[in-house]
């Protein structure tokens, strides 16, 4: 079982919770965490200096109550620190046994190649779903060429692909989606075409739209491992059902044909956050 966390979640508290929860079963799970923000605060900007990477590793090991980090991601590419220095720092941590594998998040093709040349990259974590298919253009071919796994976050479109949202859905001020253009009322309305498609396929398979969205993602490549987030047990169980749903070739073609006629409306990030992705 694969668990994903980061020092910036909380900050710090999520790692502590994960560490406490998984301590009794540590050898039965895979834990990924991340470095890359100043003082663990995403609002302060990036910091992937080698000395900072080493400090984050040691602090994360303590919070996670473990002697190794299975997968250590750079949370966002730091334009101020050469990728060779970042990859070299993680390579040293791997040599020391503190880290087992190196990963990147929301990195562009050039950064992936530069990192991989110094320390093989095991996984890339970036957004990918039926309504954000940009990785299909350059990222997926590069990962396949280099033998890198893909860990899509927001595989359910931050909740949209569950089919539970309408143009009238509102978000609290502390909800990230409240500042995302794609979740503006007019965008939610325009993007209902994705939900209509998912509902048609789901009805035929006695599944839910979320399960179809996850099954579609898993069918794209055998080395894709999506990480849907949830705060509710029944949603976790629903998501697990997506892994047991295998779409037929005919269903996948039906979805592909339908998607050619659907254009997602609204940017996935506000401008200041979009600037951090794809470097």
Q: What is the mean pLDDT of each run of 10 residues along the chain (279 residues)?
A: 97 98 98 98 96 98 98 98 98 98 98 98 98 97 98 97 95 95 96 98 98 98 96 96 97 98 95 89
Number of separate domains in the chain: 2
> What are the backbone dihedrals phi and psi of residue 101, each rounded to the nearest 5 degrees, phi first?
-140, 150
In a domain, 35, yes or no: yes
* 28, 251 contact by CB (below 8 A): no
165 and 121 in a common domain: no
Tell which of 107, 127, 147 closes a domain. 127
34 and 120 in a common domain: yes
162 and 207 in a common domain: yes
- Residues whose CB falls within 8 Å of the CB of residue 152, separated by 6 or more in sequence, listed in order: 125, 126, 127, 128, 129, 135, 217, 224, 225, 226, 227
What CA–CA distance (Å, rounded) separates 65 from 144? Answer: 34
Task: State the Cα angle at 208 between 206 and 214, rounded to 5°.
Answer: 115
In a domain, 163, yes or no: yes
Q: Two tokens at 1?
A: 């079982």
pLDDT score at 176 = 94
Letter string b/e over residues 181-218, b meaning 16 or more CB atoms within 10 A of that residue's CB: ebbbeebbebbebbbebbeebbeeeebbbbbbbbbbbb
In a domain, 141, yes or no: no
What CA–CA distance (Å, rounded) separates 125 from 250? Answer: 29
pLDDT score at 264 = 96
250: burial class by Cβ within 10 Å (0-12, 13-18, 19+)? exposed
CATH code assigned at 221: 3.20.20.100
pLDDT score at 66 = 98
73 is catalytic: no
Edge-first strand listing for the sheet containing 2-4: 2-4, 30-35, 69-74, 99-105, 121-127, 149-153
Helices 233-243, 209-220: axis angle to 10 degrees equals 40
117 and 2 in a common domain: yes
198 and 123 in a common domain: no
* pTM of the model as a whole: 0.96
In a domain, 152, yes or no: no
177 and 106 in a common domain: no
Q: Two tokens at 174?
A: 């502390």
* 8, 40 contact by CB (below 8 A): yes
What CA–CA distance (Å, rounded) separates 122 from 136? Answer: 19
> Which residue in the list 9, 73, 128, 269 is annotated as catalytic?
9
pLDDT score at 110 = 98
- Residues whose CB falls within 8 Å of the CB of residue 263, separated by 6 or more in sequence, listed in order: none
pLDDT score at 36 = 98
What CA–CA distance (Å, rounded) separates 18 from 31? Answer: 9
Choose among 97, 80, 225, 232: nearest CA to 162.
232
Helix (H) / strand (E) containing 17: helix 13-22
Beta-strand runs (E) in 24-173: 30-35, 69-74, 99-105, 121-127, 149-153
In a domain, 144, yes or no: no
In a domain, 216, yes or no: yes
pLDDT score at 276 = 87
In a domain, 145, yes or no: no
**Structural domain for 80, as ranges:** 1-127
In a domain, 137, yes or no: no
């Amino acid at each position: 079982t694969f668990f994903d966390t980061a020092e910036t979640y909380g900050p710090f508290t999520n790692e502590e919770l994960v560490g406490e929860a998984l301590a009794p079963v540590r050898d039965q799970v895979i834990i990924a965490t991340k470095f890359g923000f100043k003082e663990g605060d995403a609002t302060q900007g990036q910091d992937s200096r080698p000395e900072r990477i080493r400090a984050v590793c040691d602090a994360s090991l303590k919070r996670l109550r473990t002697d190794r980090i299975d997968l250590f991601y750079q949370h966002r590419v730091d334009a101020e620190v050469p990728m060779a220095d970042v990859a070299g720092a993680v390579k040293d941590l791997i040599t020391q046994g503190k880290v087992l594998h190196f990963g990147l998040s929301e990195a562009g093709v050039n950064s992936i190649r530069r990192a991989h040349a110094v320390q093989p990259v095991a996984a890339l974590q970036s957004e990918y779903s039926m309504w954000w298919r940009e990785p299909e253009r350059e990222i997926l071919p590069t990962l396949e060429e280099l033998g890198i796994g893909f860990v899509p976050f927001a595989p359910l479109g931050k909740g949209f692909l569950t089919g539970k949202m309408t143009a009238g859905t509102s978000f609290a001020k502390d909800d990230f989606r409240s500042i995302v253009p794609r979740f503006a009322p007019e965008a939610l309305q325009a993007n209902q075409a994705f939900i209509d498609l998912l509902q048609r396929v789901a009805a035929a398979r006695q599944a839910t739209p979320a399960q179809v969205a996850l099954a579609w993602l898993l069918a794209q490549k055998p080395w894709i491992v999506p990480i849907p987030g949830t705060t509710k047990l029944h949603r976790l169980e629903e998501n697990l059902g997506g892994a047991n749903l295998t779409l037929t070739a005919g269903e996948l073609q039906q979805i592909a044909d339908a998607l050619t006629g659907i254009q997602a409306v609204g940017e996935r990030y506000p401008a200041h956050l979009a600037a951090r992705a794809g470097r």
